[in-house]
Structures are given as structure tokens and as C-alpha cells.
Amino acid sequence: MQQVYAYSITGYVKTGGTGLADSKVTAERVGEYKWTRTSSSGNIGSYTLTVDSTNSYNVAAMKTQYTRANATVNGGSTAPDLTLSTRSFAYVTFKIAYDTSPGSRLTIDQARYYLYSAEPWFREEHSIDFQEAGAGTGWSTDGTPQFCVNYFLDDLANDTGWLYGNYSGASILIGFTGKTFNDYPPTAGCISHIPTSGGTHPWIVISNNTPDMARLVMHEVSHAYGLEHIVQSCSNQIPNIMAPGCPSNIYIKNWTPSHDATMQSRRNWYN
């Protein structure tokens, strides 16, 4: 992985947050940095994080592989610790499926691109590496009502043989379609079940009718590690990947501190 410079990072703080976990500031893009303030008054170095506002800071930071150097804030003031411990990779192996039916007509190359667009966040935050088992496989939603839950999930699992143990060495089946879903509430992805342990071979369907495929894939794959939706009001939660009903500044490409801890404890589920 290339060394990266991060600057003018914008983050958000939970409304009414107190303590370290509630007051995490999260950068949107992979390769940039997240940090936490260490006092309830909101001071970090010479800057102040204001609840319910967006703040930018010039942060000179550079990383190599998965070790982050301490950042220099404001040209030398006390900086947050951005060092990650060195760790080996965990792996999750996917079987990739693409919907070839009229109205979709995806290719394996498109499906593969969608899946791997989400991988950098899993690698960066949790050293989880995506792998593919065997060749991709086509599936079809011909004549199926356009509902992700039940209909699309059932078609995917049946057409690929996943229901009958045709795993091809994969732990998770992920199928992509070019069709939209009519579920209520509207959704662009669904998963067969929220696992409580690894090895349960969940399967996922994702529509490409979304402006941010990486974020959507991250969300559904996080479900495969047992993460549920966060249902608090959008103004009362830390920005995170599991808050799908919230504006884009809340439903961002990152996990909450508690979800980070959960992902760390489960990163070998599919190894």
C-alpha cells in the first residue's frame, strides 16, 4: 500500500456526546485518518471540536502498510496517537454472482469491481483481505417480483446451488443485479441472515442502483460479521456504516468505536 498524506479532514461529533466513545471524529475516505478527542470539553491540540458542526484541521500524517505515524497538528502541538498495532491478515472468501436477466445484464467484471471497491476499508481498519473462490457465476431474476428480501435472495441461492452446499470453497455468496428493489422501506441490498458466528455461509444481494457501491457493499458485508442496523435517531448517533437511513454525513464509510471492537473480535470468522 502506498504512503498517504491526509489533510483538511472533515469529521462529525455525536450530538450531546460525552466521553471518548461518543466523541469520535471519523474521516470519510480510506487512507485518511480518524481520531478521538480526549476531553469532554472537546479540545484536541489547539483545536476545538464543536458538537453538531463540521470542522476542518490541517493534519500532516503518513502511513506505511498498517502502521500509522503520529500526526502533527498545527505545526507541532500535541497530536492524537494514530498508531495501529501490527497484525497479520485475516481472509474472507466470496463466491461472486452476477444477474444476467433482462433489465440487469451484468458481467462478472462489473460484479467483481463492485465487491472489491469496498475492500480497502476492511484492509485498512481490520486487516481483512477479500478473496474470490473460483470463477464467477451467472444467476437470473427473470419473472421475479423485484423484492430483495425473499425473492432475489431465493433466486440467488437456488440458481447458484448455494442452498445445496455448492460453496466452491467460499464462505459468503454475494450477488449483484442491475435491477432496483421495491421493498419497503426502500433498500439497495439485503442479506439472508445476520450470523452469530462464522461458517454459516450467508448470502447477499446488492443492486447497483446506488451512488456509492463501496459504502453499500461495506454495509452488507458488515452484516455478515453479525453487525445489526443502528436505529437511534440520526442526530443522536456517531456517524457510521450501519446507519443506512441517515444523511450521507452520518451514513459514512466507517464503523463506530464499539463496532470496530466487534469487528476486531470477529475478523477471523471466515479465515
269 or 17: which leads in pLDDT: 269
60 or 16: which leads in pLDDT: 16
> For the residues 228-233, what does the mean pLDDT come to?
84
Buried b (16+ CB within 10 A) or exposed e, 229-261: ebeeeeeebbbbbbbbebeeebbbbbbbbebbe
> For the residues 175-203, what does the mean pLDDT come to?
93
Pairing of strands 189-191, 203-207: antiparallel
Least confident of 25-39, 53-67, 69-83: 53-67
- What pLDDT is recorded for position 6? 36
- What pLDDT is recorded for position 87? 57
Tell me which of 3.40.1350.10, 3.40.1160.10, 3.40.50.300, 3.40.390.10 is the CATH number of domain 90-266: 3.40.390.10
1 or 219: which leads in pLDDT: 219
> For the residues 186-203, what does the mean pLDDT come to?
94
Least confident of 48-52, 168-172, 261-265: 48-52
Residue 201: pLDDT above 80?
yes
- What pLDDT is recorded for position 250? 73
Task: Please state, as a whole number, how many other Cβ atoms lie within 10 Å of the Cβ of residue 31.
Answer: 15
Confidence of residue 27 (pLDDT cuts 50, 70, 90): very low
- What pLDDT is recorded for position 74? 33
- What pLDDT is recorded for position 196? 96
- Domain range annotation of the chain: 4-73, 90-266
Task: Please state, as a whole number, how many other Cβ atoms lie within 10 Å of the Cβ of residue 184.
Answer: 7
Least confident of 88-97, 142-151, 238-247: 238-247
Residue 1: pLDDT above 70?
no
Q: How far is it, in rounded angstroms, from Cα 54 to Cα 249?
A: 10
- pLDDT, tens digit, for every residue of 116-152? 999 988 987 788 999 999 889 999 998 889 999 989 9
Buried b (16+ CB within 10 A) or exposed e, 185-208: eebbbbbbeebeebebbbbbbbbb
Q: Please, are residues 35 and 25 in contact by the beta-carbon 8 Å criterion? A: yes
111 or 83: which leads in pLDDT: 111
Confidence of residue 100 (pLDDT cuts 50, 70, 90): very high
Least confident of 13-27, 53-67, 237-251: 53-67
Q: What is the dihedral of CA 71, 57, 87, 221, to 10 degrees?
A: 180
- What pLDDT is recorded for position 86? 53
